[in-house]
Chains A and B, each alone.
Chain A
Amino acid sequence: MALTPELVNHVAQLARLTLSAAEVELFTRQLNDILGYVEKLNELDTTGVPPMAHVLEISNAFRDDAVKDSLPVEQALQNAPAQERGGFLVPRII
Chain B
Amino acid sequence: MEYEPVIGLEVHAQLLTQSKIFCGCSTSFGAPPNTHTCPVCLGMPGVLPVLNKQVVEFAIKMGLATNCQIAPLSRFARKNYFYPDLPKGYQISQYELPLAEHGFINIEVNGTRQQVRICRIHMEEDAGKLIHDEQRPVSYVDFNRTGVPLIEIVSEPDLHSPEAAVEYLRSLRNILLYLEICDGNMEEGSLRCDANISLRPMGSQELGTRTELKNMNSFRHLQRALEYEIRRQRALLINGEAVIQETRLWDEAQNQTLSMRGKEEAHDYRYFPDPDLVPVEISPDWIEAVRQSLPELPEAKKARFMADYGLPEYDAGVLTGDKALAQYFEDCVQQFDRPKQISNWIMSELLRELKKAERGIESCLVTPTALARLLSLIEQGTISGKIAKAVFEEMIVSGKEAEAIVQARGLVQISDEAALETLAREILAAHAPEVAEYQGGKTKLMGFFVGQMMKKTKGQANPKLVNQLFARLLKK
Contacts and interface: CB of A to CB of B under 8 A. Distances in A.
A58 B278 contact: yes
B138 A91 contact: yes
A55 B52 contact: no
Interface in A24-66: 53-56, 58-66
Interface residues of B, number: 52
Interface in B126-172: 130-133, 136-143
A1 interface: no
A42 B260 CA distance: 42
B24 A60 contact: no
Judged by DSSP, the binding face of A is loop
B209 interface: no
Interface residues of A, number: 34
Contacts of B84: 88, 90, 93
A62 B51 contact: yes
B281 interface: yes
A21 interface: no
Contact of B139 (A16, A61, A66, A90): A90
Contacts of A84: 138, 140
A62 B18 contact: no
A1 B461 CA distance: 93
Interface in A65-87: 65-71, 73, 76-77, 84-87
Interface in B76-130: 80, 82-84, 97, 130
A14 B33 contact: no
A91 B137 contact: yes
B278 A54 contact: yes
B138 A66 contact: no
Contact of B26 (A56, A59, A67, A94): A67
A89 interface: yes
A65 B138 contact: no
Given A64-B53, A76-B42, A54 B275 contact: yes
Nearest to B149: A65
Contacts of B268: 14
Contact of A53 (B23, B38, B55, B273): B273
B69 interface: no
User: 5 tightest A-B contacts by CB?
Assistant: A87-B140, A68-B24, A65-B54, A62-B53, A88-B141
26 contacts: A14-B268, A53-B75, A54-B273, A59-B280, A60-B278, A62-B56, A63-B51, A64-B54, A65-B53, A70-B36, A73-B32, A73-B34, A76-B35, A77-B34, A85-B140, A87-B131, A87-B141, A87-B142, A88-B34, A88-B143, A89-B139, A89-B140, A89-B141, A90-B84, A92-B133, A93-B130
